[in-house]
Structure 1
């Protein structure tokens, strides 16, 4: 029922309800924590050779794409403040089949990226141990079978720690994440401050050596650095005053992330000619070593990366568990996954399932080939959110909204166009694998979800539909 699509739409379900314990500051930290991760620590080495100094504009393009989508997320989050992010929004506006497709996209975004960043954490941890105490985790225990090892033990340990913290309680997890966010931002701002001491305007003299096409190509690469911002909306049922807090947190997170990224990009390009970025490992640390002539910056950056990736893994696992929790409560997945621990008010079965799945992927599977799948899944989910805004404006025009997209309907249309532009830049193999994955998810829905769910593909605003009604 459209009237139920709101702050109380989730109440009264068999599995139990979540605890509202997250404030604006903690929610902003979740947005920053899930976004500022491994990307900014290596993306310049990949993107700068494609665009030259104009990679700064690539960051702006990626930021605008994320910003347009964030506006659409803000409206739906204020109108449908439940757990589940764009899955719940699709469920509320487009029906079950569309929601299942979006859920498949979100699994690519969160489950695979959680495992991927865990593998990255293992690499940075080895670099930190090598530079501080002169030891490394043996190669057999720090790499997957396809990456020269037997099992990636550090990655599994990280996933285990995040799982235990999430089971303990969302408030404790949010506080730990907030602390890690402060540390990672301090490390990046330290980089900016030191890099600007060697700033040379001559490095920007040939601003766009590879033309407009290079800027667009680099924008697709840079977009990885903005993935995760939508994790804010997965906390809908655990946020105090969600109609006001969710939109504010989305906007504040985006502003902080974009400003930090632009500062890092401008200072890095000012300190080092753009031609030197290609093939540069641990690029930020290498730049600081050149600038200061000392080894301690590399240690600081490695430590910052270790903390940063811990934070990203924690938040992406949190987001994935809440999406599966919402799907279970809608009977799109087995009911066990929507049970809540009566003491901690956390969805323990779902959190354990996510922890096990991520640990298996991180410990046993090399995940570098899945990076584009993470991106296409995210972009498709972003597009559906923008479509959902337009659908809900027509089907439930009187639904209370704590935030409305400015410039409607131009803004959601531009958001969809920007996402499609970036999707088209991905390889045909990525498109094929994504279509096969999406087909498998829809087959599962036809065999299980459509037979067990409380609603049968009825969008909000009709007589029977609603998000988690």
Structure 2
């Protein structure tokens, strides 16, 4: 008896993928993270977002190129293994998986902290359990439900940002604040190493473009839609981040006067009072806990699904639910891991560990594009030089630059994580005497 083949449902359009990526990157993220970036960036938070956006845009071009040729789930793991080598693909995918496992946890913690401030009677640990359970159920039921919730929370976040923009423009119009570029460049406090340190954390805010590529097998026309959604999401979210933080600098140019723990709340209060602060806190709870965390769980479950399907990780991770067409075992596993991390570690500990895996994966992918689409391509015309040599080289170089400025704890934990990946790979390849297992995909 032949076992029935179960595959993902293809329901996502380019707009769905775009909104998914933008929601994963959380448009209101600066409202929660602004205070954390102020000190290392010496107030130049907008510059940190700009540097991160430039780095991610060139890397996004590399993603778009590979997504067109290999429209399968798995993101960096899929692209590097098929464009370079299966062994290298696993290490690159294993590296970025670390970030994806941590992202739901940090969003749960942030959401729970803001939720506890709004409703002190509900302890933080209970907030975490409620959010993690809800997200696991929604992911279990299918990508359609995740997409619907993404659209709803997308509009809620836009409302908050539009209110902030309009109220700030009003303050400018009546002369209460003055325009300047301190958030982008402050000659008195300029320290680019500090900006790079802040950018290392900012990179996580852009990771949603990678998440788009994990849904290739659930997109209607992945060869066209995935690449478009990736590029538009980076440009769109980067613009929002930069505008938001530039305007924040208008309201409070002396960043040292702000409390890092409540920095943006203080800025919102100056333009909109308690009602705007309260509304923003509600949206932050929903956006981080029930949008960013939910989509983080979606993405990492697809990467684990791809690794399980290839056989490099246990095969049960590739099991799809017969009714809902979701990798339900991977989803449940990620939900459990995220819950444990959220209840065990603080936001500072988790945030310091982020970005290592993503930057490692980005560097590997950019080098893969140079190797696969330029060096191995006999047609080295001007267009190919720009797209497949110059652009990925810039993406690699900027990612390496930011990577070198990461916190030492992130490098140590990330290095240990990669060692575990090498151990798994050594076992599966009989100490590198054979290639890593690879599933024969046919769209």
User: How big is the shift at 1:90?
Assistant: 1.6
**What secondary structure is seen at the aligned counterpart in 2 of 1:282?**
helix
Cα RMSD (Å) of the superposition? 2.8
- What is the CA–CA distance in structure 1 between the aligned matches of 2:431 and 2:14, rounded to whole Å? 36
Query: What is the number of residues matched between the two proteins?
Result: 429
Structure 2, unaligned stretches of length 5 or more?
none
Query: Aligned in 2, Cα 1:354/1:216: closer, same or farther, shift over 3 Å?
Result: closer
1:37 Cα offset (Å)? 5.9
Q: Does 1:201 align with 2:191?
A: no
Q: 1:277 to 1:190 in 2, by over 3 A?
A: farther
The alpha-carbon distance between structure 1 residues 13 and 265, as it changes in their structure 2 partners (threshold 3 A), is: farther
Q: Which residue, out of 274, 297, 303, partners 2:282? A: 303
Give the corresponding residue for 2:116.
Answer: 126
Q: Where does residue 142 of structure 2 map in the other structure? A: 169
- 1:77 paired residue number: 67
Question: Are 2:74 and 1:94 equivalent residues in the alignment?
Answer: no
Confirm or deny: 8 A CA contact 1:109 1:377 kept in the other structure. Answer: yes
Give the distance between the partners of 1:396 and 1:236, measured in 2 at CA. Answer: 25
How far, CA to CA, are the matches of 1:57 and 1:437 in structure 2? 30
Worse overlay, 211-220 or 185-194: 211-220
How many angstroms apart in 2 are the aligned matches of 1:418 and 1:274? 29
- Give the TM-score, by structure 2 length: 0.89
2:244 corresponds in structure 1 to: 264
Aligned to 2:58: 68
Partner of residue 389 from structure 1, selected from 369, 375, 381: 369
Give the structure 2 partner of residue 339 of structure 1. 319
Shift of 1:271: 1.1
The one-character-per-residue Cα deviations of 1:104-137 (angstroms, maximum 9, x if unpaired) are: 22221111111111111111111222xxxxx432
Deviation per CA, 1:70-111: give whole Å up to 9, x if none.
Answer: 111111111111001111112212323212212222221111
Checking the alignment, whether the CA contact within 8 Å between 1:75 and 1:405 is kept in structure 2 is no
User: In structure 2, do the counterparts of structure 1 residues 361 and 287 end up closer, same or farther at CA, with 3 Å as the change threshold?
Assistant: same
- Which residue number in structure 2 is paired with residue 8 of structure 1? none
- Where in structure 2 are the equivalents of 1:100-115 lying within 5 Å? 100-115=90-105
Question: For structure 1, which runs of at least 5 residues remain unmatched after alignment?
Answer: 1-11, 130-134, 143-151, 459-464
Partner Cα separation in structure 1 for residue 365 and residue 270 of structure 2: 44
User: 1:396-415, CA deviations, whole angstroms, 9 ceiling, x for partnerless residues?
Assistant: 7499xxx9895431110111
Q: Distance in 2 between matches of 1:332 and 1:51?
A: 41
What is the Cα deviation at residue 279 of structure 1? Answer: 2.9
Residue 260 of structure 2 aligns to a residue in which SS? coil
TM-score (norm: length of structure 1): 0.84
